[in-house]
Amino acid sequence: MQKIPYNIPDAILFDLDNTLCTFIDAKLAACRAVVEHLGAGDENELFEYFLRPVHSFEDNHHILDYIDEKKITTPTDTSQITRLFEEVKIAHVTPYPGVHETLSHLSGQGIKMAVVTDASMPQAIRRLHKCNLAQYFQAVVTPDKSGRSKPDPASFILALDELQVSGTIWLVGDSIRREVLPGNQLGFVTVYARYGDYFSCNNPDCSPSYIIDRFPDLLELEGLNSIKKTG
């Protein structure tokens, strides 16, 4: 980890899934609910379908492909199955420990904050409200708005435009490829949320400014640890 004295940020951009809130665990729980409902299949095998480049990671057509290719007879129509998947997934989405307290402190210090995610806008808003996090962010940017998915810089640049901010920008995310690499290229202070990276074995060679293993560790980093703490 670099030992560079960074300034207090003018704004912080946060990834959503696996950075602010659990998501892979929620998706696995939803896969488990589907195979239990079907009475056939394997939850991990179904989850692997979502990792294919055939559809986006959020696309429930992966479920339909799985059912079709495994020749599974469904007890209900497929719309009920995908609805079950979404209901179980959102029920299992929760903020990581210390997220509320950390964001509340940063917000109280007047730091502008935005969420930059590859989830669709409806999905992102639903998760933020489920976790009671929406009030901390002045902007939410998704590919629906920017027209591009990460690691393309378009969403990050749009977030800064919406925040109407420049200067020292921090970017916090669980993906080296989708957050740290483009963040470094844009001149941001990059914080790798290693605790949420389920695919770390696929990481390219890259050096984030900081690495954290718990979300509250953010406040201990140089540049943020000089902010007056209250309570």
Structure confidence by residue, pLDDT tens digits, 175-210:
999 999 999 999 999 999 999 998 776 677 788 999
Distance (Å, whole) CA 63 – CA 73:
13
Distance (Å, whole) CA 54 – CA 63:
12
Q: How many CB atoms lie within 10 A of CB 44?
A: 11
Helices 78-92 and 61-69 pack at an angle, to 10 degrees, of 130
Distance (Å, whole) CA 204 – CA 188:
18
65 and 41 Cβ atoms separated by less than 8 Å: no
Average pLDDT over every residue of 24-42: 95
Distance (Å, whole) CA 22 – CA 115:
15
Q: What is the pLDDT of residue 202?
A: 67
103 and 133 Cβ atoms separated by less than 8 Å: yes
Asked if pLDDT for residue 1 goes beyond 80, the answer is no
Q: What is the pLDDT of residue 151?
A: 95
Token couple for 52 = 């294919």
- pLDDT class of 229 with cuts at 50, 70, 90: low
- pLDDT class of 5 with cuts at 50, 70, 90: low
